[in-house]
Structures are given as C-alpha cells and as structure tokens.
Structure 1
Amino acid sequence: MKNTEIALSRTKIAENFPELSEIGIELILSSMVEEHPELSTAEFFTWLDDLNKSVTFDIEFVPLTELKNWNVDELGNVRHESGKFFSIQGIRVKSANQNVVKEWDQPIINQPEVGFLGILCQKRGDVLCFLMQGKIEPGNVNKIQLSPTLQATKSNFMQVHGGNVPKFLEYFKDEVEGRKIIVDQLQSEQGARFLRKRNRNMIIEMPASTNLEVPDNFCWLTLNQLKYLLSYPNLINMDTRTVLSCIQIV
C-alpha cells in the first residue's frame, strides 16, 4: 500500500467501526498491509537466509555432572550453583479427576520467577510494525526462529549468567517517555513442564519519533506479514505466538 491508500484505509476502518480505539484501528490496518515497503516478505526471507548463513551453531551432549556451574544434589535434583535460573526436580502428582491418570511421577523445571516476553511496535511508513528478533536456541530444528523483541527470564535480565543486559529491556521494565502499553498480561508457562514459572507478556508502542537502534538480527514486520509467516513450520517461535495471542481489538 502507498501512504495515500493507507490513509484511505484508516479512514474507512474508522467510519465502519466507530467504536474502535485509535490503537484498534492501527492494529487492523497493520493486519491488512500485505507488503510493507520497508521490508517485503520476499526481502524478509532473504534476510532470514543471510542470518542463518552467518550463524555457526554446535551442540554437544555431555553428562549432567560435567555441566559448568551446575550440580546434581544428593536427591538427584539439578541446580545452578548461584541458586538462580531453575532446578530440575522430581515430583509425584495425584489427581482427583476421574478422567485422567490418577497418579504419576515426572521431572519438572522449578523456576519460581517472572520473565519478560515483549514486542516493541512503532509506526514505520505510517503503518504499525512489530520488532521481531531472529533468535537461535539449542532446541530449534532450523536454527533461526522469530522471537519477541525481548525474551528473557528474571535470571537473564538480572545478569546472573554474567552476560550483557538483554537488548531493549528498558522499554518494558522502566517508565520510558512516550511509551504506550497495548498488552500487559501475566501468563503461566507450560504448567506441565514448569513449576511456578510465569511471563509478563507485553506489547509496547513507541512514538515514530523515537530513534530505536536496531541490530542486524532484528526486523520490522506488519501484523499481516506475521500472520502469513505463521503458516511456515518452525518459523514463529512459541513465545512470539503467545504474545501475539494477547492482542485484543477494542
């Protein structure tokens, strides 16, 4: 869409749905724009391919006893020496529900902390776009997947690992001038695998005038492009999906 077509579409949405808020109109418009001039869908796949080619990745399986800074205690639980991150413990579950297995044993990841899953959005070329991160994680079958702008546990952003502060953390953690909160929901994470783990799912809009320094492994996409990319297996990661699912058009 050209800027004139975008403006006309915005006007038509407002006329047909007068009950919508300003952000509701912008979200619908973003879901309609198929090819954004800043990064077309074809250009996105070129960006993704180049990013995958630039990344080296190797996984080596080692015994738990050889993991750096991790220990197995006398009960068989796996813990980090800092006492942070998470521990892997055994649990026994008993259920009164007659429609499920009444009792079973399983390992579970005990992580009683709240992390951030956050996506920044901003008007780019007069269309609301979402800042996505090309992120590689050990369990990915295809190297790079699209993750939220910020994907960090509390131990990560508190730098327990000794690394850098996650990029864009301040926009979600602090009261940054000009920010508008579109989504802010506390959600539990995979209760069958995690114990007491929650994430703060957020979408933050920043003014178009805010200069965001975006690294090469980040890209801007419209909602329409994200909807299209959802049809590709193993491309939009789980955390991105859960954040986007929190959007309400009001």
Structure 2
Amino acid sequence: MAERTHLDWFRERLAASRAIEPRDPAPILAWREAQRNRIRFKADLIGLDEVRGWSRDENGNVRHKSGQFFAVEGVRVESGDLREVSSWDQPIYTQPEGGILALLARETPVNGVQFLLNGKPEPGNIGVIQFSPTIQSTWSNIRRAHAGKRPPMVEVLTAEAGVRIVYRAEHNEEGGRFWRKSNENIIAFLDDERVIETDMTMFCWASLRQIKELALMDNVLSPFVKTILLPL
C-alpha cells in the first residue's frame, strides 16, 4: 500500500536528518513566549446556563443549537470486578463524528526533517498556548457549523498535488470522557509548500529532537502531537 511505502521512506529521511536537525528547543520556546505576549485571549469559567448557543434538551442533555459539535449526556456503566467499583453513572461527551489530527512535515538542506506545529490557544490550556498538531479540528468545525472561519491548513489535505500522505489511522479518543469517538491521525509530507494558503503567524517549524525536548517540559506540548508521532 502506498502510504506504507511513504512511511518507510519517511523513516529513512528522519534517520538521515539526525546529524543536522536542530536540538535546542530554546528558539521554539522564545517564539511561543512572543506569541503569548502578542495575542489577546482570555477565558473564565461561567455557569452552564450562561453559555451562549448551548442549552439542555428534554432529557437534560447539553447540546449546541446547531445540533453539531459535541453534547454532554449521561452513561451508566456495569463493570463487574474490572474497575474500582462495580457500576457507576457519569456525564460523557458524545459526538456523532470525530475529527482530524494532522502534522505537516518538510525537509530542508539546513535543518533536515521538520514538523509544523500550531501555537494553539485553548480555554483550558495552562499557559494559554500549547504546541499542537498542524491541523486539529472536528468535522463540525471543518464544515463551519460555528459560522466562523475555516480551520487553518485543511486546504493542504485536499490539495491535488504537492503533498504525500505518510500515514493515516483512526485513533480512539480517551474513553473515560468521550463516547466511542475516534480521530483520524495523519502525517503529510509537503513536496511543495505552495499548497499552504493559511497565514503562518501562529505556526512554527520544529525538528523531531526539538519536539522530544518539549515533551520533557511542563504544559507546553499537546498530547495529540505525541500520539501522531508515535508510529515513527
């Protein structure tokens, strides 16, 4: 299969890059700090009854007015002697469809193989910005159910040329919080960076060694990045 061929080829390119790839994460961290000082992003906890666009249905489940994104429903579990207790009830996120988690990669003569990280602000992030996959989006966002902007970089995955898929696989979300949800994990190699149409302000390139160094630090690297890179 073509994607397996690309994966073996990409592993060879990673091995060839080890001698020249940047190792020091300091420039990446300095970039993050500059973005944190530049952007305007504020998040505070509020009551569920105050959340705009979301409401409870006749069963008490919380849903978005569009009928898309996730919902918060209840689940009843019977576990026998497999878990700490034999049964329990809990809220759980439900979503009829998952999303895409993708890292874009390139190779340069100076830095070898690099991955494109998104400095992504999320309301629950410690430190506001974490280094996240190039593309991290639900299908609801891709369809613009929020009536906002198209998620960045998704144009790359629909490009007719200039991109090769290194691998793609469905990975189950964390099952203690999400009900039977999976995301498509992808690494895509850019043969032609001109396929990128997205503004690059919140993106930076990092080597695999730099990413590994970031993974040793507190609250700077999204766990999704680690999951995507694992097959390498």
Secondary structure of the residue aligned to 1:242 is helix
Establish whether residue 204 from structure 1 lines up as the match of residue 191 from structure 2.
no
Query: How large is the RMSD of aligned CA atoms in angstroms?
Result: 2.1
Deviation at 1:239, TM superposition (A): 1.4
Establish whether residue 29 from structure 1 lines up as the match of residue 16 from structure 2.
yes
**TM-score under structure 1 length normalisation:** 0.82
Task: Map 1:134-149 onto structure 2 (within 5 A).
Answer: 134-149=119-134
Establish whether residue 82 from structure 1 lines up as the match of residue 66 from structure 2.
yes
Contact 1:113 1:196 in 2 (8 A): no
Superimposed CA distance per residue, residues 81-128 of structure 1 (whole angstroms, 9 cap, x where no aligned partner): 111101101111012344542101110001120200001101123511
The one of 167, 171, 188 equivalent to 1:187 is 171
Equivalent in the alignment of 2:213:
228
Distance 1:152 1:32, change over 3 A: farther
Secondary structure of the residue aligned to 1:155 is helix
Distance 1:95 1:222, change over 3 A: same
Establish whether residue 60 from structure 1 lines up as the match of residue 44 from structure 2.
yes
Contact 2:25 2:211 in 1 (8 A): no
Equivalent in the alignment of 1:153:
138
Equivalent in the alignment of 1:244:
229
Equivalent in the alignment of 1:10:
none
- 5+ residue gaps, structure 1: 1-19
Deviation at 1:68, TM superposition (A): 1.0
Distance 1:71 1:219, change over 3 A: same
The one of 111, 118, 131 equivalent to 2:102 is 118
Deviation at 1:208, TM superposition (A): 4.9
Superimposed CA distance per residue, residues 160-188 of structure 1 (whole angstroms, 9 cap, x where no aligned partner): 0001111110222x253132111201011
Deviation at 1:246, TM superposition (A): 3.0
**TM-score under structure 2 length normalisation:** 0.88
Give the partner amino acid of 2:13.
E
Distance 1:91 1:31, change over 3 A: farther
Contact 1:141 1:234 in 2 (8 A): yes
What is the rounded CA distance, in whole Å, between the counterparts of 1:236 and 1:41 in structure 2? Answer: 12
Superimposed CA distance per residue, residues 17-57 of structure 1 (whole angstroms, 9 cap, x where no aligned partner): xxx94322112234554527xxx633222211110101222
**What number of residue pairs does the alignment pair up?**
224
Deviation at 1:224, TM superposition (A): 1.1
Quick check: 72-81 or 210-219, which moved more? 210-219
Establish whether residue 165 from structure 1 lines up as the match of residue 150 from structure 2.
yes
Equivalent in the alignment of 1:7:
none
Deviation at 1:211, TM superposition (A): 5.8
